[in-house]
Amino acid sequence: MTEEEINARHAEKMAKKKAARDRMIATKTLEKGLLIVHTGKGKGKSTAALGMVMRGIGHGFKVGIVQFVKGKWETGERVVLERFSDQVTINTMGEGFTWETQDRQRDIAAARAAWDQAVSLIRNPDYKMVLLDELNIVLRYDYLPLEEVLEVLRSKPEDTHVIVTGRNAKDELLEIADLVTEMTMVKHPFRDGVKAQAGIEF
């Protein structure tokens, strides 16, 4: 094939793709607040949620963040989010990763306090986006009654986006979610002795 033939064939193929895509997009007309879940063992669950938060801020949303574990969102994120403190509310009720505390009763109390904050942010119509970071870990350890959490998420205001992160998301949560992405680890530098680094992990 000559270069001209390649180009012509490409143009034809792309025109077909574009037509198919335009038809598909024309059927998508609904606008509504989504329940979004980022799960899986890979990296990027909280990081992609942070990206959504930044986008939301760019659109002028008020955004609420509740961290269900400590030791995250402490450094790089915080500096940036503080620049938008008129739009962002951060609650850090977590008391540390569960394997750090070894105190189940304290973890349950911390989860409950964080959840109370989450409920009031979700039900406040001023907040267009609420991030429940690592809620899945809390649910996995049964620190909160699953049905109570699901009920709040099911009855969230129509146009509020709620993002839930953490590995091992419960099936019942995936069932009521609108958008679920699984982050899968394909390759990780920890294998080669590289430590957690600024800008990447925190």
Counting residues that bind its own copies (by CB under 8 A) gives: 83
Closest of 62, 83, 179 to residue 126, by C-alpha: 62
Q: Which of residues 141-170 bind its own copies (CB under 8 A)?
A: 161
Segment interacting with its own copies (CB under 8 A) among 110-118, 130-138, 148-156, 173-181: 173-181
The contact mask relative to its own copies for 18-37 (x = CB under 8 A, - = no) is x--x--xx-xxxxxx-x-x-
Nearer Cβ to its own copies (147/192):
192
Least separation in angstroms between residue 114's CB and its own copies is: 18
Segment interacting with its own copies (CB under 8 A) among 41-49, 118-126, 130-138, 147-155: 41-49
Structure tokens at 87: 């739009």
Nearer Cβ to its own copies (113/183):
183
Least separation in angstroms between residue 151's CB and its own copies is: 20
* 62 binding its own copies? (CB under 8 A): no
Closest of 44, 40, 43 to residue 190, by C-alpha: 43
In this structure, which amino acid lies at residue 127? Answer: Y
Q: How does strand 127-133 pair with strand 62-67?
A: parallel
8 A C-beta contact, residue 96 and residue 70: yes
Q: Which of residues 80-139 bind its own copies (CB under 8 A)?
A: 80, 83-84, 98-105, 128-129
Give the C-alpha separation, 191 to 87, whole Å.
39
By CB under 8 A, name the one of 47, 91, 120, 124 that touches its own copies: 47
Closest of 117, 116, 119, 113 to residue 95, by C-alpha: 113
Helix (H, G, I), strand (E, B) or coil at 11: helix
